[in-house]
Amino acid sequence: MDRRERLIARARQGYRLAYGAEPSRFFAAPGRVNLIGEHVDYNDGFVLPCAIDREAIVALGPADKDAAVPLFEAVALDMGDMARARDSFDLASPIVPSENNWQNHVRGVVQALGRDGYRVKPARIAIAGDVPIGAGLSSSAAFGVAVALACSDYSELDLSAETLARVAQRAENDFVGCACGIMDQMASAASVADNALLLDCRSLQHMPIPIHPSLAITVIDTGLRRNLTESAFNERRAQCEAAAAHFGLTALRDLDFATLEAAQTSLDRTLYRRARHVVGEIERVEPVAVALTQGDTALLAEVMREAHLSLSADFEVSLPPIDRLAGLIGEALGDAGGVRLTGAGFGGCLVAVSTHDAGIAIDEAVARYNAAADLPARAETFRPVRGAAPIMLG
């Protein structure tokens, strides 16, 4: 069996163990890696992620017909033993947050659909995934979008990718407590195979950007983990909002460098640095899109190096071990590709976009880093894949 077949088998087996029945449908939503445009989505800017061949899979079947009330039941197969990884809630009563984040992703999705006037049918689901949790590859977005797609399909709602993404984002914002933007969910819902997704986070207009066949996307997992709802992520968003308010703007997307530089003396220094990252990062999206289509690794090296330095110095979401690893990989790659922190930061992963044969240089740099590291890093190459979709089994 290949990777996906094993994951489907695990979801099927988990469903059987939880409910004593066979699931009737399967749905998948991928994780994502962001190539450029970090901490830009909640500032209404432009981003360039792509979906990766790691995903969350939902096995679904009808609700218990003997239940006294219309129940929605869920089991998360990656969240510990079966007793702690189960949840159920009454669809006829107000849906309220629970103690566990994974439960709140499910409850939040169903609650958001109901708030928008959609009727979700009672059902049973089992969720299994292979997106690394806490690594900055959007395991939570894959989870939420997969649940939203399963609810939409089973309840015959026929929701668009944009609506699925909005629903999953609201679940994360309102029920989980993470003030994330829309990028992760849109990448999971709307990506096109072999392409990155150029996304306007204000309008949700998006288009596929072909990734040149000479390029490989490598994710280097640092082994350092973070929990966004307990990290400084929400603080960074508040700082960006404060900086935008200083200029009388809705979001930092509308700020230009000239206006920002002119306000250095009147703007709090921390807010200035946060805004400088966002304004610069938005400007870096277009050259990376061009470099991806043309296979221009020298341009990728230059722009991704700038992006990492900005995330480390101005936005302060990197860590010394991550900076060291990025430096080693960047030095090893030279003009054969670029590397930078990806995801929200405070741990997680680096992403490198390089020629295929540069994988050896990346592996050697990671080995040098691991020789003195407390936690070993690990490099893996991913394919850009399509967004969320039902799984058609033969």
Say how many CA atoms lie within 13 Å of 184 toward its Cβ: 31
Say how many CA atoms lie within 13 Å of 62 toward its Cβ: 4
Q: How far from 67 is each of 63, 98, 343, CA to CA, in Å?
A: 8, 21, 42
Report the Cα–Cα distance between both ends of the chain, in Å, rounded.
14
* Joined tokens for residue 138: 């959007």
The count of other CB atoms within 10 Å of the CB of residue 324 is 14
Contact by Cβ (8 Å): 384, 51: yes
Residues sharing a CB contact under 8 Å with residue 310, sequence separation 6 or more, in sequence order: 276, 277, 280, 281
At how many degrees (to 10) do helices 297-313 and 320-333 cross? Answer: 170
Contact by Cβ (8 Å): 79, 100: yes
Active site residues: 184
Separation CA 393–CA 137 (nearest Å): 27
Compute the Cα dihedral for 65, 66, 67, 73 and give only its sign.
Answer: negative
- In the block, residue with structure tokens 């988990």: 14
